[in-house]
A = this chain, B = another copy of it.
């Protein structure tokens, strides 16, 4: 249950009963739309893909590899992780749209989705 005081001020929209005694806290964003819940959820999904140390290192390895292509066996060893764990992390980043997966023969090659990290970064800078 929310408290009453601030709610009334908000409901009426402007500063009617509040005199100079109040420093006008709890006056929310002027009706402007904030991030919708659905967009926030989608964005959070992509940041969640970056919110793990091992996934960041995977990205680092993939992006610095020779042809910008890496297979699972290249990752498990330097990260000290089991192969199923690496596959799991890769899947998360593929589903987040950060990595491409291409299967050639027995191997699966992973590469950065061009511009994916850039567009994510663009959502962070306030300028528009």
1/0 per residue A10-43: CB within 8 Å of B?
A: 1000000000000101111110101101001101
Indicate whether A102 reaches chain B with its CB closer than 8 angstroms: no
- Chain A contact residues, majority secondary structure: helix
Indicate whether A65 reaches chain B with its CB closer than 8 angstroms: yes
Copies in the complex: 2
Indicate whether A48 reaches chain B with its CB closer than 8 angstroms: yes
Q: Which of A57-116 contact B (CB under 8 A)?
A: 57, 60-61, 63-66, 71, 73-74, 76-78, 104-105, 107, 112
Q: A57 to B35, Cβ gap below 8 A?
A: yes
Q: B77 to A6, Cβ gap below 8 A?
A: yes
A34 to B62, CA, bound (A): 9
A37 to B60, CA, bound (A): 11
| Residues in B whose Cβ lies below 8 Å from that of A77 | 2, 6-7, 9-10, 28
Chain A residues near B (Cβ < 8 Å): 2-3, 6-7, 9-10, 23, 25-30, 32, 34-35, 37, 40-41, 43-44, 47-48, 50-57, 60-61, 63-66, 71, 73-74, 76-78, 104-105, 107, 112, 117-118, 120-122, 124-126
